[in-house]
Copies of this chain bind each other. A is one copy, B any other.
């Protein structure tokens, strides 16, 4: 945790005081070995970043005097559309995606997405929220990416994506593509990343039809976990 994130409930903007309990209280003890007077980097979820002084620690609670004085880093102008991967991979990816600064994540079912993945508790809103917060704490950011779930590919492609594509360039990572993924595009991107085994032909055709360009990443077949940072490193400056 490089930055302790406070919720609106925990923070009183009038007094500048915050009371923190649970995981983050424990972390202050076990990892940071904090004591009264110590300074911590903090942020308000959905708000600014700053620093805090520890006023008081007891078994349950960490009391802070907080000063918020700077804006969080800008989000990447990126909508990531990700085929729901295996639950443990999805769990890890949520933190990574939040830490990388992705603005919006749309999770989609595809022909090759196993139906059982939609029964996993990892797609419950509280679980998603927790993993996103861990990613923001890592990267010193305070703004959650917007996340939405779209079980049915055709609904997403017909009803949801066109709005995004009106304001961004659409790309899909697709091993069979003719063109390599471009570098440093300097424009907003809607990026599609398929399931293990890739999008099926019908899906590639449909995405192409609504204006999404297939691009490849070379000859190697990579797992989705390295593919996402690799694409972000490539696309943005």
Decide: A229 and B220 in contact? CB cutoff 8 A.
no
Decide: B100 and A222 in contact? CB cutoff 8 A.
yes
CA distance in complex: A180, B95 (Å): 24
- Measured between C-beta atoms, what is the minimum distance from A25 to chain B in Å? 22
A51-59, A79-87, A133-141: which one contacts chain B?
A133-141
Decide: B226 and A100 in contact? CB cutoff 8 A.
yes
- Measured between C-beta atoms, what is the minimum distance from A196 to chain B in Å? 10
Q: Which of A1-37 contact B (CB under 8 A)?
A: 2
On chain A, which size bracket covers the interface? 20 to 34
A218 in the interface (beta carbon within 8 A): yes
CA distance in complex: A99, B219 (Å): 11
Decide: A222 and B139 in contact? CB cutoff 8 A.
yes
Decide: A99 and B140 in contact? CB cutoff 8 A.
no
CA distance in complex: A41, B53 (Å): 59
Decide: B219 and A229 in contact? CB cutoff 8 A.
no
CA distance in complex: A66, B159 (Å): 48
Return chain B residues, CB-CB under 8 Å to A73. 218-220
A232 in the interface (beta carbon within 8 A): yes
A121 in the interface (beta carbon within 8 A): no
Interface residues of A (CB under 8 A from B): 2, 73, 96, 99-101, 138-141, 180, 183-184, 217-223, 225-234, 237
Query: Could you list 29 A-B pairs, sorted by A, with CB under 8 Å?
Result: A2-B221, A73-B218, A73-B219, A96-B226, A99-B220, A99-B222, A99-B226, A100-B220, A100-B230, A101-B218, A101-B220, A138-B221, A139-B222, A140-B219, A140-B220, A140-B221, A180-B237, A183-B184, A183-B237, A217-B233, A225-B225, A226-B229, A229-B229, A229-B230, A229-B233, A230-B232, A231-B233, A232-B233, A233-B233
